[in-house]
Amino acid sequence: MFDPSGNDPISPSMQDLLKLFGQELAAVKFPDVDRGVLEEAAARVKQKADEVAKAQAALEAARQALYEGQEALLQKGQRALAYARIFAEEDAELSAKLDTISLPRPVRKAPRVEGTLVQDPQAAAPGEDAAPRRRGRPPKARASAQLFADGASPEAIAAAEAEPVNGALHTA
């Protein structure tokens, strides 16, 4: 079957055959097949290809409308969740229920890549927790980790100090 990814849904070899039946074989008639039958079948194929193109355009428009509707719902849902959290500040049970709901961040504008929508990589996918990033500097390394970097653990140093040197205990 010919792949209709190009502009013409009729394969080049079929076009060559149609051209032959339109010129050199125009007067030749075979049982159930002649120039008219082939041209009529080719016209039906082109009509079906046009219908497919229109259906694909309608599908893309429907997908875009669905995407826009989902984004509008998400924005309204986030606003409703924020209002509900403020409303439920005095109700611990309702607050606990609201805390279990985590909505993803809205996607600004989805760029199109060859007819498909691409989500913003910064936004979380539906169902994923969108935990905010930690602010400020990362914590410094603990001082005790640097003190014992030479391989001696605090327990080994304490055990060495507990052993008597020349029969006497260490006095620090």
pLDDT tens-digit series, residues 65-97: 999 999 999 999 999 999 999 999 999 999 999
Which SS3 state, helix, strand or coil, does residue 82 take?
A: helix
Q: Which residue has the higher pLDDT, 51 or 109?
A: 51
Rounded Cα distance, 105 and 130, in Å:
7
Whether residue 110 is predicted with pLDDT greater than 70 in this model: the reply is no
Q: Tell me if 161 sits within 8 A of 154, measured CB to CB.
A: no
Between 151 and 36, the higher pLDDT residue: 36
Q: 124: Cβ–Cβ under 8 A, 6 or more apart, which residues?
A: 104, 105, 130
Residue 171 in domain:
no
Please report which residue ranges of 23-132 form alpha helices under DSSP H.
35-87, 92-99
**Residue range(s) defining the domain that contains residue 92:** 12-129+139-162
Most confident of 79-83, 117-121, 137-141, 142-146: 79-83
- Please report whether residue 4 resides in a domain: no
Q: How many independent structural domains does the chain possess?
A: 1
pLDDT in tens, 153-170: 667 666 666 666 565 555
pLDDT value of residue 91: 92
Residue 7 lies in a domain: no
